[in-house]
Chains A and B, each alone.
Chain A
Amino acid sequence: MTELSQIRNFSIVAHIDHGKSTLADRLIQMTGTVAERDMKAQLLDSMDIERERGITIKANTVRIEYPAKDGQTYVLNLIDTPGHVDFAYEVSRSMRAVEGSLLVVDASQGVEAQTLANVYQAIDAGHEIVPVLNKIDLPAADPDRVKENIEDVIGLDASDAIPISAKTGLGIPDVLEAIVTRLPAPKGDRNAPLKAMLVDSWYDSYLGVVVMIRVMDGVIRKGDRIKMMQTGAVYGIDKLAVLKPKMVDIPELGPGEIGVLTASIKQVRDTRVGDTITHERKPCDKPLPGFKPAQPVVFCGLFPVDANDFEALRDAIEKLALNDASFSYEMETSAALGFGFRCGFLGLLHLEVIRDRLEREYDLDLITTAPSVVFKLHMKDGEVRDLHNPADMPDLTYVDHIEEPRIKATIMVPDDYLGDILKLCQDRRGIQLNLTYAGNRAMVEYDLPLAEVVFDFYDRLKSVTKGYASFDYQLSGYREDHLVKMSILVNEEPVDALAMMVHRDRAEARGRAMVEKLKELIPRHMFKIPIQAAIGARVIARETLSAMRKDVTAKCYGGDATRKRKLLEKQKAGKKRMRQFGKVEIPQEAFISALKMDN
């Protein structure tokens, strides 16, 4: 049990790649929390996929102890958060568990879109914010300009911003001191009934479901009978611990403290992030406000390449879902692809991460269908239906009108590229809301259809601005538009997995681009293949893939049998990664690449 005055809780927030995890490394290292020989870069990014991509996906909490200049030793709970917009939800719930934020800004880049988004969230959460200027070791770093930039764009006093290099360790002692002196201590009443916030939960293969909590009032002890106020479930606490970042058992946690518990909870789904935990016997009277659960916004079908893997896929998806409540799934059947699942994700990166994990950790070969958003179908009889899958689009005669989700996008970009950005947003049916300048950087806000953003908007944005633009978005609501279902026919047969909803005015262009791309992606066959895009029965674009005319080896004698056999084995394996439509094989890449349009 630690005195409130000796606790500081904070999150580290920043735009993607500005150095949050590296700063966390230095704080962990300099306080001796982890032995020097166990240190490695981005220590908290423990998932394979995080390490491979060099990004944080899951927020991580660590408890460190810091002997301050005032002679006292403080307990610091830091939460390293992800920077990518898909995982903004992780940031917002982490912030609810703490009182302050270290706002990291890359001193060679300045304020970016997620810097802004994070600051607003921190302000909403009532946080004290300490700005930190990172990467000052870089020759391009310009801390003074970035301070000005912070003041101009965010309106935050940056005069006390701390210049550091998380890489070299420069300035880290100042950060530790500022945490103690500038961030507030938590409040809470030790004698009140237990009130703790369920901050996060995950599945551990040894311990089962692990629940992270922040105690607001009261004291929680090992063996206590606790109650989850939203779900009503009651559990006995088996284990109580803090994360350093390895679990270290602790007898009790008091107000202001953050720790984890296990309690024979079966599934992560049995826990609600934001729920209030109290004692069964002596409950608190009012629960915490709770958070809105994360809603999947991008949907796609996942199908096994080999139909025999369906059960294995089901099993893998269920296991992954145990650990990630933000991802949804339901069974789907496709004429083209057989049995699979329609899955919902927080965004495209989230989709890629899950697909990657399914393929790697469970050794599955998957086909991913075109990502889609959720359209609202207003039927003539007044019913409103959610359309998760373009293939399920009902006959138009029953549909009165269709609405699609819109977002408010914030884009920060050097003025040199502003023109390209405006054009890109215009091409994507955007409506400009706002345009402001800070120095030579512009901040544009656009109202955009989510459907125009989910697939390749981020890639396009990066490529037209050579990586200098940053982007953040929030869902803003639904709006009616002239939307139609475009089907793709290969060899006269519709490929349901390639169907998509498009705006009527853009259908021809999309259709044309799509059939051209497919013509490149589908290998030539022994016969010619028409590839068409159609709205209803009307063909709006058409290409013909000519037949392969000659493919034969001139010489093949005894010495060639081995080589030819091995080649055949390779071809057969490649063929397995294709899907048959009629007699046409469509390679798996086609399903994804065909949708990556360059214009």
Chain B
Amino acid sequence: MEDWRHGGFGLYLHWPFCQSKCPYCDFNSHVAARIDQGNWQNAYLQEIDRIGGETGNRVLNTVYFGGGTPSLMEGRVVGAILERIGKTWTLANDIEITLEANPGSVEAARFADYRAAGVNRVSLGVQSLRDADLRRLGRLHDAAAARDALEIAKRTFDRVSFDLIYARQDQTLSDWEAELGEALQLAAGHLSLYQLTIESGTAFGDRLAAGKLRGLPDEDLSVDFFELTQSMTEAAGIPAYEVSNHAEPGNESRHNLIYWRSGDFAGIGPGAHGRLTLNGRRIATETARNPNAWLSTVMAGRSGDSLRETLDQSQILEEFLVMGLRTSEGLDVARLSSLCGKKDFSSDFKDLEDFGLISTTPHKLMATAKGRLVLNRLIEEIATRLE
């Protein structure tokens, strides 16, 4: 069996537009005055046909509309895309079709159309349940709008998740404890909880570099935030299944699991990445990031991919570690063996196990909660030893 099949096959579609740019965000998202949705629809369809030509005989497990703000897409566009997808691949019986949505009223009004088009899961960018913090995060909605959108979403879709950003400026541990408590009341079996990361090239990044971004937690407090988050979600029955993702068992995001399990995924849209195993070779694909550049390339009948690179064995192994160790299920030892050509790891990581950073079973090797806190280091250590 080809290795990617352990992870499955999904399709990622990137919608690169937002109503405004959030100051912390380094995603490929842009604010545009006018978007000709018909043109975009055609371009997506054309790319679906292209990828379908290479992978058409596969069963498709998931579709993910990410962004940007895909909830700015018109319902008919989403519908046309899903229709074409249905004609291109055999859809898995339990196919998961997620759409990222922002909690504005305009977006909420489209939920029914998305449902009708086939979307069965939404991930709502709530970010915070506190108005003051939402303003500091540059969000256009307030907490009440978020709660309303969540209500509508829960009524409309089978599965709903929402995102929160914590470890924010001037946030105390008890602030977060209360806020997360409320969130757990609202949750429908899945939550993404991200510690605020200051990315370079963002407005926050510039402010930090200029020494003007104050009140961020220090390392100790950020550890406390993380640990509190772990214990509260666990107690509520939606434990972490990945560094920042929490779900009741069975309700995990199957699409994201494809990434973390090194499955195959096609990436369509500006700045989308893909991994496809074709003719026994694992190919990394990348498209042009600039929305107009991507659109005009595809409209001119050319491939949206700006890069196609075959990954060698050590690169595949590196990605397998980087992605796989994020999950609580950990790495599949048999896959690890075949990727690095080594049979027995029992002595290699003994000390890491003694330090309580990893744990192992005959079939799995995973980072513990303690190990996940220093995951970047842990991955580096494990990767170096496997060379």
Contacts and interface: CB of A to CB of B under 8 A. Distances in A.
A binds B: yes
Interface of A: 525-527, 548-559, 561-562, 564-565, 568-569, 571-572, 575, 583
Contacts of B66: 557
B379 interface: yes
Contacts of B265: 558
A551 B284 CA distance: 27
Contact of A526 (B196, B220, B323, B377): B377
A527 B244 contact: no
Given A551-B376, A554-B197, 10 more contacts: A526-B374, A526-B378, A550-B226, A552-B375, A553-B375, A562-B286, A564-B319, A565-B322, A575-B380, A583-B351
A565 B319 CA distance: 6
B383 A572 contact: yes
B243 A556 contact: yes
Given A527-B355, A556-B322, A571-B380, A551 B273 contact: no
Given A526-B355, A552-B243, A568 B322 contact: yes
A119 to B, nearest CB: 55
Top 9 nearest A-B pairs (CB, nearest first) are A552-B375, A558-B259, A559-B273, A554-B194, A551-B376, A564-B322, A571-B380, A565-B318, A554-B195
A482 B210 CA distance: 52
B274 A558 contact: yes
Contacts of B378: 526
Contacts of B315: 565
Contact of A568 (B196, B274, B318, B351): B318
A162 B383 CA distance: 67
B322 A561 contact: yes
Contacts of A561: 259, 273, 275, 284, 319, 322-323
A552 B351 CA distance: 20
Contact of B243 (A525, A553, A558, A569): A553
B372 A552 contact: yes
A556 B323 contact: yes
Nearest to B243: A552
Contacts of A548: 374, 377
Contacts of B243: 552-554, 556
Nearest to A556: B326
A358 B357 CA distance: 40
B244 to A, nearest CB: 5
A565 B320 CA distance: 9
Interface in B357-383: 357, 372-381, 383
Contacts of A525: 377
B256 A557 contact: yes
A303 B323 CA distance: 36
Contact of A558 (B267, B374, B380): B267
B194 A559 contact: no
Nearest to A580: B384
Given A555-B197, A565-B322, A568-B380, A550 B355 contact: no
Interface of B: 12, 66, 194-197, 219-220, 222-223, 226, 243-244, 256, 258-259, 265, 267, 271-275, 284, 286, 315, 318-319, 321-323, 326, 351, 355, 357, 372-381, 383-384, 387
Given A561-B259, A569-B318, A552 B376 contact: yes
A562 B267 CA distance: 13
B319 A555 contact: no
A574 to B, nearest CB: 9
A554 B240 CA distance: 13
A550, A555, A564 — which one has the most chain B CB atoms within 10 A of its CB?
Answer: A550
Contacts of A572: 380, 383-384, 387
Nearest to A523: B377
B323 A568 contact: no
Contact of B272 (A555, A559, A564): A559
Contact of B220 (A527, A549, A564, A568): A549
A287 B381 CA distance: 65
Contact of A551 (B196, B220, B351, B377): B377
A527 B370 CA distance: 11
Contacts of B274: 558
18 contacts: A526-B357, A526-B377, A527-B355, A549-B219, A554-B243, A554-B244, A555-B197, A557-B66, A558-B12, A558-B265, A558-B267, A558-B274, A559-B271, A559-B272, A561-B322, A561-B323, A564-B322, A569-B318
Contacts of A575: 380, 384
A553 B196 CA distance: 10
B311 to A, nearest CB: 9
B205 to A, nearest CB: 15
Contacts of A556: 243, 259, 322-323, 326
Given A554-B194, A555-B197, A561-B319, A568 B379 contact: yes
A525 B373 CA distance: 13
Contacts of A565: 315, 318-319, 322
Nearest to B26: A555
A555 B194 contact: yes
B284 A562 contact: yes
Nearest to A546: B219
B259 to A, nearest CB: 4
A549 B217 CA distance: 13
B223 to A, nearest CB: 5
B10 to A, nearest CB: 8
A554 B275 CA distance: 21
Contacts of A557: 66, 256, 259
